[in-house]
Amino acid sequence: MRYVCVKCNYIFDESVWDREEEIKIGTKIEDIEKCPSCEEYDTFQGIKEEVNYADDYENLKLLEIEHIPQIKIIDDDHNKIEVFIWASEHPMWDDHRITSICLYDEYSDLVIEEFLFPESDPSIELDVSDLDEYEVVSKCSIHWSWWRKIKK
């Protein structure tokens, strides 16, 4: 998730390493006591990101193909899945990459967010045994969030 400081407009992104401020990838907003830029307390607000759903999988554009989470069922009971992004299509560079893959339950509550690093293979395995419906999200550092709804 990304946040903005309402005092100085510093952008804090949980999925990006801020070398200048020495904040590691995966650091949560709750772990930041004050804004690293202006040093004010309690000044962050969440940034609502654009969400993209692709329902017509027959007619996807290249931008959609390289971002839409793909699902591969690993076991016969449909309890374990592999979520992957077309690595051959999408770059995994410092400034342009899939920053994380998330799993949400049927109530849109976050179950898990796996942060990805530059040069990572953009895929993860997930246990969905407790979920009848779920949403998988890939987040790109440049091209927003891409959602896919799944019903077992």
CATH of the domain at 76: 2.60.40.730
Verify that 36 and 109 share a domain, yes or no: no
Q: Which range marks the domain in which residue 85 is found?
A: 51-151
Average pLDDT across each block of 10 residues of the chain; the chain has 152 residues. List them in order.
85 80 87 90 81 64 77 89 80 84 92 88 92 91 83 82
Domain count, the chain: 2
pLDDT at 58: 62
Whether residue 70 sits in one domain with residue 11: no
101 lies in the same domain as 135: yes
Q: Are residues 31 and 104 in the same domain?
A: no
Long-range contacts of 89-95 (CB under 8 A, 24+ apart): 89/62, 89/65, 90/66, 90/122, 90/140, 92/116, 92/118, 92/119, 92/120, 92/122, 93/118, 94/118, 95/141, 95/142
Q: What pLDDT shows up at residue 40?
A: 92
Q: Are 144 and 53 in contact (CB under 8 A)?
A: no
Same domain for 22 and 94:
no
Q: Which DSSP helix (H) or strand (E) runs through 64? A: helix 62-65
**What is the structure's pLDDT at 60?**
66
Separation between Cα atoms, residue 68 and residue 60, nearest integer Å: 9
How many Cα atoms within 13 Å fall on the side-chain side of residue 101? 22
Q: What are phi and psi of 21, to 5 degrees?
A: -95, 0
Residues 125, 69 within the same domain: yes
Same domain, 67 and 122: yes
The CA R_g of the chain, rounded to the nearest whole Å, is 16
**Cα 73 from Cα 79, distance rounded (Å):** 8
Whether 58 and 44 share a structural domain:
no
Contact 2, 11 (CB under 8 A): yes
> Based on the domain organization, do 76 and 142 belong to the same domain?
yes
User: Do 69 and 26 lie in a common domain?
Assistant: no
pTM to 2 decimal places: 0.66
Co-location of 68 and 15 in the same domain = no
